[in-house]
């Protein structure tokens, strides 16, 4: 089968790999779509960041070179020994979190904080391939009225939903979203759904600002133009020191900032943070979000796929996927169709 395999920075090769049969507790999925995530771009541009190179990941048993792609969906091709609840032909969304099921955080239901935290497609073989083999606990069967095009976006939507839940969003609050990439746009959409009184989007791209308005933002501004103290709650969806400080400046005294972007070491004004009694809330991955997203798509008709701007074939994933996303802000979410 064909797969996009990470060998090193700027070295992703679409090549023939031997398909693997599902083992005990595993399912083989014929991939319909796989999105390209910002994490994938980081690994392509200057990785490894999360990809294990020297030692295999403890849950997947895999190290580089490995198949990228953690935002995927498809249909069940085969089930391994001991798997129940799934059969060939079932349409499924993949929730690609690895979990050990034994550590204290897993026992508490916080499996996104598992001691063996990781994702299929970063710490193990993923969905930028014709088929992917994953643990059955990663799968969610889709209702007949939820198309696979919607399921392809459930993974980033789960990141956004977990962040909204972590934020403690209250009905009527004013929300600022800084960074209108896929995660930020989905935060806009979900914040509106869960009762925000007003959502303000902030991004340098006119295209992304226009889409934020379509998704329910009451106002949109260019980068660095958020007024001071206007928000009860702000979401940082870039992963940069400047945008974190923009969020803090835009948030009222006693307000909250949710950090969704992945960045390095940031300098903040801790004196102002304390004096304003603001809170910075970190949010990583997601847990128990996919059932709600499936319900929103199935019962309420929410269109998460509205952020998709291109669908490209697997053989062109480097040129039309990674390189295009690195070099333009006009693309937002690119799906790959193996």
What letter would DSSP give residue 267? -
User: Does 101 reside within a domain?
Assistant: yes
Examine the domain organization and report whether 246 and 315 are in the same domain: no
Other CB atoms within 10 A of residue 153 CB: 26
Examine the domain organization and report whether 309 and 274 are in the same domain: no
Distance CA 157, CA 76 (A): 22
E-state strands within 228-295: 231-236, 251-259, 279-282
Examine the domain organization and report whether 120 and 209 are in the same domain: no
Read off the pLDDT of each residue in 215-241 and give the average, rounded to a whole number: 97
β-strands 279-282, 251-259 pairing: parallel
Q: Residue 121's closest CA among 60, 181, 162?
A: 60
- The predicted pLDDT at position 174 comes to 98
Distance CA 199, CA 188 (A): 7
The model's confidence at residue 215, banded by pLDDT at 50, 70 and 90, is very high
Report how many domains make up the chain: 2
Examine the domain organization and report whether 253 and 162 are in the same domain: yes
Examine the domain organization and report whether 6 and 122 are in the same domain: yes
Looking at the chain, how many residues does it have?
A: 338
What are the structure tokens assigned to 19, written together?
């398909």
Give the structural domain span for 55. 2-147+305-336
Read off the pLDDT of each residue in 136-158 and give the average, rounded to a whole number: 97
Query: CATH number, domain at 311?
Result: 3.90.180.10
Task: Please report, in angstroms and rounded to a whole number, the separation of the first and last CA atoms in the chain.
Answer: 10
User: Does 296 reside within a domain?
Assistant: no
Evaluated on CA atoms 211, 216, 218, 224, the torsion sign reads: negative
User: Does 152 reside within a domain?
Assistant: no
Query: CATH number, domain at 261?
Result: 3.40.50.720
Examine the domain organization and report whether 6 and 121 are in the same domain: yes
Examine the domain organization and report whether 21 and 107 are in the same domain: yes
The model's confidence at residue 102, banded by pLDDT at 50, 70 and 90, is very high
């Amino acid at each position: 089968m064909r797969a996009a395999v990470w060998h090193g920075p700027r070295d992703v090769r679409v090549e023939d790999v031997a398909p693997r049969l599902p083992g005990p507790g595993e399912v083989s999925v014929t991939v319909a779509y796989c999105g390209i995530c910002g994490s994938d771009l980081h690994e392509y541009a200057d990785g490894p960041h999360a990809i294990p190179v020297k030692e295999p990941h403890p849950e997947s048993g895999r190290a580089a070179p490995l198949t990228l792609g953690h935002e995927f969906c498809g249909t069940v091709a085969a089930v391994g020994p001991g798997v129940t609840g799934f059969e060939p032909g079932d349409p499924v969304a993949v929730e690609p979190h690895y979990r050990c099921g034994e550590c204290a955080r897993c026992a508490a239901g916080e499996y996104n904080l598992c001691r063996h935290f990781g994702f299929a497609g970063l710490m193990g073989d993923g969905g930028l391939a014709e088929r992917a083999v994953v643990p059955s606990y990663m799968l969610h069967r889709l209702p007949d009225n939820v198309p696979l095009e919607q399921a392809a976006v459930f993974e980033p939507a789960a990141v956004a939903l977990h962040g909204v839940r972590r934020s403690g969003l209250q009905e009527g609050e004013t929300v600022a979203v800084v960074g209108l990439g896929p995660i930020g746009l989905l935060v806009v959409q979900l914040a509106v759904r869960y009762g925000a009184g007003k959502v303000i989007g902030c991004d340098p791209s006119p295209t992304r600002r226009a889409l934020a308005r379509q998704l329910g933002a009451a106002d949109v501004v260019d980068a660095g133009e958020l007024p001071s103290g206007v928000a009860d709650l702000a979401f940082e969806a870039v992963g940069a020191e400047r945008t974190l400080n923009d969020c803090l400046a835009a948030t009222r005294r006693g307000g909250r900032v949710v950090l969704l972007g992945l960045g390095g070491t940031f300098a903040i004004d801790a004196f102002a943070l304390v004096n304003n009694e603001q809170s910075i809330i970190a949010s990583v991955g997601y847990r128990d979000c996919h059932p709600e997203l499936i319900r929103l798509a199935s019962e309420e008709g929410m269109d998460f796929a509205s952020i998709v701007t291109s669908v490209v074939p697997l053989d062109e994933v480097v040129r039309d996927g990674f390189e295009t996303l690195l070099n333009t802000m006009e693309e937002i979410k690119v799906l790959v169709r193996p």
